Structure 1
Amino acid sequence: MAFKLLKHRWQKITLIVVGGLLVLTLIIALFANSYFAPKLADKIKVEVLKGSDSLYRIDIGNTDLHILRGTATLYDIKLSVDSSVYNLKKKQGDAPNNLYELQVKRLVVSHMQLLRMYFKKELNIGRITLNAPDVVISYHPNQPDTAGKKDKRTLWQKLSKTLKLVNVGEIYLNDVKLKYKNYSGPKVATSEFRELNLKATDLLIDSATQKDTSRFLFCKNVSTELLNYSSKSANGLYSFKVKSVKLSTQTSKLTVKGINLQPAEHVKFFNTVKADRFTLRIDSAAINNFDYINYQKSQEMDASKITLNHGFFEVYSNYNGKLQTTDRLVTFPNWAMRYAFKARAKVDTLDLKRFEFVYRQLNKTPMKTGVVVFNNINGRFLNLTNKKEALQKNNIATANVSSYFMGKGKLDLNFKFNLDDADYKYHYTGHLGPMSITDANQPMMALSMVRATSGRVKSLDFDISSTQKTSTGTVTLLYNNLQVDVLRKDFTKRGLISTLANTFILKHDNPDDGKTEPRKAKVAFIRPANFPFFKTVWQTILVGLKACAGVGKAEEEKFNKQNAEDAKKEQEDLLKDAKKRKEKEDEKFKEALKKKREG
């Protein structure tokens, strides 16, 4: 049959011509492949040098080029920094903050229009794929992001003489091994990441996109995903895990899932270090309008909103901990915002949703651990910043938090912090709703050696103004039928002392039977230097709680009917009492410190 098809002379001639053309095309393609392959590698090297102003160089092992298929495979690629050029730029004040190094065994380029690049100087590529590359990013704080550059040409202007356009449809980096080195501190901080994937779409470098701020690295979108990240602290007492981290430059949204900071078992932990023990779990965190460009340039953290969903945070006070001899002003939120964050930051809104906070402390007298729990915490924090230009517009950070104390009484708190005041002023108010006092017996028994046998809180309200040294304000505790037992080490009742406390010291109701005006306590507290922030807040409120319950001074009708002179005198008396309490605390601290040193 085949011979019959070729029985005509014109058919044979046609077959010979077509076959010859195919052979000629293959010969030309093979020649072009062998000719253009090294040309392509050389072209890439030249453009990298030009585009980076000689800062980077790229080495390529072998290149396989298939013109007919429009594919190229590059082997043993290494992108490195020319240290001599970098040092020269550093001396000239023109060195970049971030340096990049790359090693990859195999890079595949597909759907490449080589003839268009050769004749029209337009580089069009469908896809670039890098599998298992090793990437090293180094951050050096060489210059602020506002520093002027000597060469103000755009990347397109640098490349335009050899390439009029560069367009890549998709770029894939799969299973990346990334090492990040931060040289901004006294020691190099190194982080390593595996299972990192990156996809970039529509990379376009031309005259229209050279200054397009909506693109990141000239790409319409860059999405990154980090899976199953884990690390351990240097001392091995903490393990940190994250299930996934995703960033989209198009939406400027960073999403983190499965955050878990897990400490070692508490006996091992407290026998190893003197610090408190922390546990943290967060189901998910979302950062909206994250300024990733500013972060990449200068490590600044700017975001419109951060949302933390469904979390658990526990603090276990170290019973072997050392006595703090330094001023604990460093624990104040407005101090921390100013000095603890090394990077400049501005977060407009931080939302907490469905959190639980647990505080544990061992009382060595009965050898029992008290546990204070706040359930279902929801909160909103506004204007968290340490940027001077932002503080000039608004220097007040606010926090509005609601929770359930011991899972029973609804507690609403409102804080205001002055972020640039020399005295670290802050103000807070709070309201606790109805609950049984016996619901708080677990921490009361373990930490205070007192057990409530009956009693119900109707409400607790406080309004306190503070500086780093003094706190003054009012506390009102409304309750009824308060009865307590004073306990021994084994939690058995101390009968005589309990009877005396219930009969002569405690007031069982507020307001008292037959009276309509409740007792209110004016409070003053002078902070001992070794008292941290939350202990200061609690001790200030505690002064008022004791006064309302009869252990101290509280006023009824007189509270709202004082003239200015009487109020001033009372304030002076309160501060005198507060000074005495502070002196007692200082003496207790000195004794404890002496015993610690002797022991």
Structure 2
Amino acid sequence: MKPVWKWIIGVLLALILIVLGVAWYYSRNWKPIVETKLKETVTNATNGLYSLRYDDLDLNVAIGNVTLKNAELIPDSAVYRQMVANKLAPNSRYHIKLASLKVRSFNLWDVIKNRTLFIKTINFESPDIHMIQEYHAYNDTIVDQKSKTLYDNIKDVFSAVNVRDIKIENVKFKFSKIEEGKSSDIVLDSIGINVHDVLVDETSIDDSTRLFYTKMVEIDVPGFTYDLSNGIYKAKFDRLKINTQEENVLLTKVEYSPKMSKAVYFKTRGQNVTMAVLKFDTLRFEKLNFKQLIDDQQTIAEHVQIKNGSVSLYNDKRYPKKTVSKVGSSPHQQLMKVQKLIRIDTVFVDNIDVLYGEHSAKFNREGVITFNNANGTITNLTNDSLHLQQQKQMKANLSAKIMNAGSLNVQFGFDMLSKDGAHTYKGTLGPMQATSFNRILKPLLNVEIASGNIRKVSFNMSANDHRNWGDFRFDYDHLKISLLNAPGSDNEKKGIASFLVNQILINDSNPDANEKYHIGKVNYRRVPEHTFFKTLWQSLLEGIKQCAGISKEREAKLMGTAEGAKNILDESKNVIKKTGNFFKGIFKKKDKDEKKEK
């Protein structure tokens, strides 16, 4: 038996030595072959655009490990310019540096026998990626020449390549966009990327469960701030997370705002150009089509969630406003003008505070109106003309607390294919105190609501580029207003004028004292220079005035009364005579009204 054991042990030792010898031979003699083939493959696969350089290639065939040290993928600028001249250059090119590239656990036998390469893991150490984007219009039009797939480039060497996991950590990424010879840069640090189950074979490119050969790509980008090209605004976020398998994108602490204070902003612009500040805790895309986004820059998603944030808009009337026609610039018309396709089934708005502030040139004060805790949905948000042939309506159903008091519910309907911007809006406002609106009325109009109980408001309106029309209902009681003197005056309120306005010119309730219920029949012709939302407000204001009994004649009388009272207070001569004449005019107006009623 002893010789048998010796024979067995001898055979095993011989086999081990043979394996080690073969491994050593291939490691020693395949290295130059692999190096040559690797560089050749990179050059051929990119039509000479890229070359591969590195300091050392450590190849251990026995355990299936490869380490590439100080590797660099370098684009050739001369080749790129020639490709541009021939209209063959891609829009993007890359310059990539790696401290090391580690390939672990590949099977040499499968490579030799079956021409298949399976790799357990690939690790990229300290990658530095510079992506340069330079737009070429011909890339949008050339479709007759089918580009090579990744499989086409490797099929002469391998019939299939499968990598279970790719880990790329602490990535430094620089994005440079070149437009009209000028470059703008975005720099990101400490990006984490995990790629799972990469398969390159004859059929994987058509596998609907894969995105560019992969089953899943996870990307984690830490926060960054980007100065926009106009030099005024900045955009930033705290974190960006992408998961291609779940088809989700999550951004946290998103902000779009000027880089300066409100005062400096308007001074810098030199015009009354709306200043916008947008802040959201959460911005999430769900079921986002990454392939369409990457290939065609099309945004197609099932859901978008905007949660916990604010939208603040400011104007300053101390600065001149550029008077241009806003006809054709309603929200839905602006969406249809976007060059790239957008199709989102539903946008969920969750707890967003909306504020509009305006600084008065006449009174040098800022008034604000707020819509607190806005919630709701926007459905069929798209500029896809083919999709809109089936469903042309984009709808918004939103609710908020106006001035953090009354419950406002509004439904918009936008005809996306209408040539004249047709749309509808209807809504209701629940009970609240009218004095809540003094935050905007007093600073901007120098008028104050002394008291007033709003029971309900409802409206149902249709509109287009030129006109808004519909019914407006306003149920209220105990409405009293105070006309104010100029800021800084010893006596803030115009007592006589306020008394006359409340007694004669407006109805203190609806139904009024004669139990007549007033309904606003709005037919408002748009001022072309007014924005969509200003036109909407002016239309609703027309309904408010009609319900309050303020006809155009009474409105003119109201303005005359305020100015007349100012003269009374400013001029001390003939106070009694002026007051008598004033009342005389009022009673004449009252007699005319009584005759009309009869």
Deviation at 1:251, TM superposition (A): 1.5
Residue 14 to residue 250, structure 1, CA distance change in 2 (3 Å): closer
- Specify every segment of 5 or more residues in structure 1 that has no aligned partner in the other structure, as ranges: 1-7, 555-576, 578-599
1:37 pairs with 2:34 = no
Deviation at 1:364, TM superposition (A): 3.2
Deviation at 1:85, TM superposition (A): 5.7
1:596 corresponds to: none
Give the counterpart of 2:117 among 114, 123, 146. Answer: 123
Deviation at 1:49, TM superposition (A): 3.8
- Is 2:483–2:493's contact at 8 Å kept on the other side of the alignment? yes
Amino acid aligned to 1:534: F
1:574 corresponds to: none
Residue 55 to residue 30, structure 1, CA distance change in 2 (3 Å): same
**SS of the counterpart of 1:507?**
coil
User: C-alpha separation between the residues in 1 aligned to 2:538 and 2:505?
Assistant: 20
1:524 corresponds to: 523
Residue 520 to residue 117, structure 1, CA distance change in 2 (3 Å): same
Deviation at 1:438, TM superposition (A): 1.1
User: C-alpha separation between the residues in 1 aligned to 2:77 and 2:264?
Assistant: 46
2:413 corresponds to: 416
Between stretches 231-240 and 167-176, larger displacement belongs to: 231-240
**SS of the counterpart of 2:320?**
coil
Between stretches 135-144 and 240-249, larger displacement belongs to: 135-144
User: C-alpha separation between the residues in 1 aligned to 2:409 and 2:207?
Assistant: 47
1:571 corresponds to: none
2:497 corresponds to: 497
1:395 pairs with 2:392 = yes
- Is 1:41–1:60's contact at 8 Å kept on the other side of the alignment? no
2:464 corresponds to: 467
Between stretches 20-29 and 214-223, larger displacement belongs to: 20-29
User: C-alpha separation between the residues in 2 aligned to 1:451 and 1:60?
Assistant: 76
- Is 1:72–1:110's contact at 8 Å kept on the other side of the alignment? yes
Give the counterpart of 1:249 among 244, 248, 269. Answer: 244
Residue 223 to residue 184, structure 1, CA distance change in 2 (3 Å): farther
Residues 323-381 of structure 1 deviation map (CA, whole Å, 9 limit, x = unaligned): 12221236420221122x33221122111111100111112333221111111101211
1:104 corresponds to: 98
Amino acid aligned to 1:328: K
Amino acid aligned to 1:322: P
**SS of the counterpart of 1:162?**
coil
Give the counterpart of 2:261 among 259, 265, 279. Answer: 265
Give the counterpart of 1:311 among 309, 312, 332. Answer: 309
User: C-alpha separation between the residues in 2 aligned to 1:185 and 1:545?
Assistant: 52
**SS of the counterpart of 1:104?**
strand
Residues 541-594 of structure 1 deviation map (CA, whole Å, 9 limit, x = unaligned): 11121121122169xxxxxxxxxxxxxxxxxxxxxx9xxxxxxxxxxxxxxxxx
- Is 2:288–2:301's contact at 8 Å kept on the other side of the alignment? yes
- Is 2:205–2:212's contact at 8 Å kept on the other side of the alignment? no
TM-score, length of structure 2 as denominator length: 0.83
Deviation at 1:246, TM superposition (A): 1.2
- Is 1:277–1:318's contact at 8 Å kept on the other side of the alignment? no
Amino acid aligned to 1:292: F
User: C-alpha separation between the residues in 2 aligned to 1:235 and 1:150?
Assistant: 38
User: C-alpha separation between the residues in 1 aligned to 2:249 and 2:541?
Assistant: 42
Between stretches 469-478 and 250-259, larger displacement belongs to: 469-478
1:582 corresponds to: none
Give the counterpart of 1:324 among 302, 322, 326. Answer: 322
Amino acid aligned to 1:306: V
Amino acid aligned to 2:371: F
Give the counterpart of 1:136 among 130, 140, 143. Answer: 130
User: C-alpha separation between the residues in 2 aligned to 1:461 and 1:187?
Assistant: 53
Q: How does 1:356-375 map to 2 (within 5 A)?
A: 356-375=353-372
Give the counterpart of 1:435 among 417, 426, 432. Answer: 432
- Is 1:262–1:279's contact at 8 Å kept on the other side of the alignment? yes
1:507 corresponds to: 507
Deviation at 1:42, TM superposition (A): 2.4
Residue 48 to residue 238, structure 1, CA distance change in 2 (3 Å): same
Between stretches 207-216 and 111-120, larger displacement belongs to: 111-120
- Is 1:427–1:465's contact at 8 Å kept on the other side of the alignment? yes
- Is 1:139–1:183's contact at 8 Å kept on the other side of the alignment? yes
**SS of the counterpart of 2:211?**
coil
Deviation at 1:442, TM superposition (A): 1.7
**SS of the counterpart of 1:538?**
helix
Alignment identity in percent? 25
User: C-alpha separation between the residues in 1 aligned to 2:386 and 2:89?
Assistant: 26
Residues 290-328 of structure 1 deviation map (CA, whole Å, 9 limit, x = unaligned): 111111112111112111111111112134443122212
Deviation at 1:167, TM superposition (A): 0.9
Deviation at 1:10, TM superposition (A): 11
Residues 389-423 of structure 1 deviation map (CA, whole Å, 9 limit, x = unaligned): 22333332211111110111111111122223221
User: C-alpha separation between the residues in 1 aligned to 2:146 and 2:313?
Assistant: 52
Deviation at 1:525, TM superposition (A): 2.2
- Is 2:90–2:139's contact at 8 Å kept on the other side of the alignment? no
User: C-alpha separation between the residues in 1 aligned to 2:187 and 2:107?
Assistant: 37
- Is 1:165–1:205's contact at 8 Å kept on the other side of the alignment? yes
- Number of corresponding residues: 546
1:198 corresponds to: 193
- Is 1:113–1:125's contact at 8 Å kept on the other side of the alignment? yes
**SS of the counterpart of 2:350?**
strand
Between stretches 86-95 and 307-316, larger displacement belongs to: 86-95
Deviation at 1:34, TM superposition (A): 3.2
User: C-alpha separation between the residues in 2 aligned to 1:181 and 1:159?
Assistant: 30
User: C-alpha separation between the residues in 2 aligned to 1:187 and 1:425?
Assistant: 41
Residue 412 to residue 466, structure 1, CA distance change in 2 (3 Å): same
Between stretches 83-92 and 249-258, larger displacement belongs to: 83-92
- Specify every segment of 5 or more residues in structure 2 that has no aligned partner in the other structure, as ranges: 557-598
User: C-alpha separation between the residues in 1 aligned to 2:66 and 2:142?
Assistant: 40
- Is 2:105–2:120's contact at 8 Å kept on the other side of the alignment? yes
Deviation at 1:58, TM superposition (A): 2.7
Residue 161 to residue 15, structure 1, CA distance change in 2 (3 Å): closer
Residues 186-240 of structure 1 deviation map (CA, whole Å, 9 limit, x = unaligned): 9655433222211111111123424213211211111111111222345665443
Between stretches 314-323 and 447-456, larger displacement belongs to: 314-323
Amino acid aligned to 1:131: E
Deviation at 1:179, TM superposition (A): 2.8
Deviation at 1:479, TM superposition (A): 0.6
Residue 17 to residue 397, structure 1, CA distance change in 2 (3 Å): closer
Residues 427-483 of structure 1 deviation map (CA, whole Å, 9 limit, x = unaligned): 211211111111222212112211111111111122222222222222221111111
Amino acid aligned to 2:108: L
Between stretches 450-459 and 231-240, larger displacement belongs to: 231-240
Q: How does 1:154-169 map to 2 (within 5 A)?
A: 154-169=149-164
Cα-Cα RMSD? 3.1
Residue 108 to residue 298, structure 1, CA distance change in 2 (3 Å): same
Amino acid aligned to 1:423: D
1:580 corresponds to: none
Q: How does 1:518-557 map to 2 (within 5 A)?
A: 518-552=517-551
User: C-alpha separation between the residues in 2 aligned to 1:72 and 1:349?
Assistant: 48
**SS of the counterpart of 2:204?**
coil
